């Protein structure tokens, strides 16, 4: 079926069950699928487009959404790799994954752990900085965790990052515990400062975020040795690079505020392999459609087999 819609760089018509539709077809499936979405563009906007084509209501909606995606990007957002884009737009792993739990053995005694192991609560303790790390770390691959931490319950020195198994988890006084030594790397949410080896490095991102939201994604590429963060759907770029490779790294937090509640969830991960072309095609089309119409792939001017492939996974 795929070969039936792959041409050689020319305009052609195919019957997709809704009458004959016009596409610009290239030499790859990727171009064919993206041009199918771009069929919503005004006449003459796409090279090879049939200038006599009458736009349907669905195509006009697709065009407006594509324009929004192209010209209304958040100013803090950094372009992501295809691997990360796929992870951020894929369904998360099932609840209960062991990588979603905090470690009961590797956390400060001033933290209380929930029965499910996914939530930490710091007890009111003066002159103490307390840390915790995940139960399961990673040595390779690209991984994304979700951390939920209410801005109202952070206080000073609220840090999210990664650490090895040798990072200290409790010390006296108030400090950024994660990032306080050579075995951890952390982002302090109140000041936007990056911490490592007990020193502030620089502000991240460069354009300060006045109020870091409750939901923060931790992006660790253990193969490349980099760590970054995503807030409100915007990837803020690489915060740390040259992290040790082949060493088990854990998601980690540290807090000084009594009553702080911090929740962890592992969302997704992938090995260091070439990104499948089919997956990239589906990603581009879903992004062009937008979240509001993600379940309306059956309305695209595509053959039924491709519409089925594009249906979001449950």
The whole-angstrom separation of Cα 7 and Cα 250 is 48
* Residue 77, in any domain of the structure: no
114 and 190 fall within a common domain: yes
pTM exceeds 0.85, yes or no: no
68 and 115 fall within a common domain: no
159 and 288 fall within a common domain: no
Predicted local distance difference test score (pLDDT) of residue 64: 56
179 and 249 fall within a common domain: yes
Q: How far is CA 263 from CA 40, 125, 134, 145, in A?
A: 42, 20, 11, 10
The whole-angstrom separation of Cα 312 and Cα 1 is 20
Predicted local distance difference test score (pLDDT) of residue 28: 41
126 and 189 fall within a common domain: yes
Predicted local distance difference test score (pLDDT) of residue 78: 58
Predicted local distance difference test score (pLDDT) of residue 227: 96
Predicted local distance difference test score (pLDDT) of residue 312: 63
DSSP state of 299: G
Predicted local distance difference test score (pLDDT) of residue 115: 92
Predicted local distance difference test score (pLDDT) of residue 18: 39
Pick from 196, 190, 191: nearest CA to 177: 196
* Residue 280, in any domain of the structure: yes
Domain of residue 220 covers: 82-270
* Residue 206, in any domain of the structure: yes
CATH number at residue 142: 2.60.120.920
Predicted local distance difference test score (pLDDT) of residue 55: 57
* Residue 157, in any domain of the structure: yes
Q: Domain count of the chain?
A: 2
Predicted local distance difference test score (pLDDT) of residue 306: 75
298 and 153 fall within a common domain: no
* Residue 284, in any domain of the structure: yes
159 and 113 fall within a common domain: yes
91 and 61 fall within a common domain: no
Predicted local distance difference test score (pLDDT) of residue 100: 94
The whole-angstrom separation of Cα 245 and Cα 134 is 18
* 8 A C-beta contact, residue 259 and residue 150: no
28 and 156 fall within a common domain: no
Averaged over successive runs of 10 residues, the pLDDT of the chain (314 residues) comes to 32 38 37 47 41 56 52 50 78 88 93 93 92 94 95 92 93 92 95 93 86 94 94 91 94 94 94 74 71 72 75 60
56 and 31 fall within a common domain: yes
114 and 18 fall within a common domain: no
Q: Which residues contact residue 14 at a Cβ distance below 8 angstroms, ignoring those fewer than 6 apart?
A: 4, 5, 20, 21, 23, 303
156 and 265 fall within a common domain: yes
The whole-angstrom separation of Cα 161 and Cα 201 is 14
* Residue 212, in any domain of the structure: yes
Structure tokens at 15: 């019957």
């Amino acid at each position: 079926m795929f070969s039936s819609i792959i041409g050689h760089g020319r305009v052609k018509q195919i019957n997709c069950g809704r009458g004959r539709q016009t596409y610009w077809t290239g030499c790859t499936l990727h171009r064919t699928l993206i041009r199918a979405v771009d069929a919503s563009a005004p006449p003459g906007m796409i090279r090879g487009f049939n200038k006599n084509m009458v736009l349907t209501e669905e195509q006009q909606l697709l065009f407006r959404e594509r324009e929004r995606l192209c010209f209304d990007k958040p100013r803090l957002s950094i372009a992501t790799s295809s691997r990360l884009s796929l992870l951020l737009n894929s369904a998360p792993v099932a609840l209960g994954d062991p990588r979603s739990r905090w470690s009961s053995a590797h956390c400060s005694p001033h933290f209380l752990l929930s029965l499910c192991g996914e939530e930490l609560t710091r007890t009111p303790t003066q002159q103490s900085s307390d840390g915790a790390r995940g139960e399961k770390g990673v040595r390779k691959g690209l991984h994304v965790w979700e951390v939920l931490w209410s801005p109202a319950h952070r206080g000073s020195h609220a840090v999210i990052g990664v650490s090895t198994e040798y990072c200290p988890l409790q010390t006296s006084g108030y400090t950024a515990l994660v990032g306080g030594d050579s075995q951890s790397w952390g982002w302090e949410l109140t000041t936007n400062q990056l911490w490592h080896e007990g020193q502030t490095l620089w502000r991240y991102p460069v354009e300060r975020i006045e109020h870091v939201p409750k939901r923060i994604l931790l992006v660790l590429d253990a193969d490349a040795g980099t760590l970054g963060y995503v807030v409100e759907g915007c990837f803020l770029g690489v915060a740390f690079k040259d992290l040790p490779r082949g060493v088990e790294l854990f998601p980690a937090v540290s807090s000084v505020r009594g009553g702080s509640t911090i929740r962890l969830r592992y969302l997704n991960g992938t090995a260091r392999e070439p990104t499948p072309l089919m997956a990239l095609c589906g990603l581009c089309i879903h992004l062009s459609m937008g979240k509001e119409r993600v379940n309306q792939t059956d309305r695209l001017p595509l053959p039924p087999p491709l519409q089925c492939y594009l249906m979001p996974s449950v």
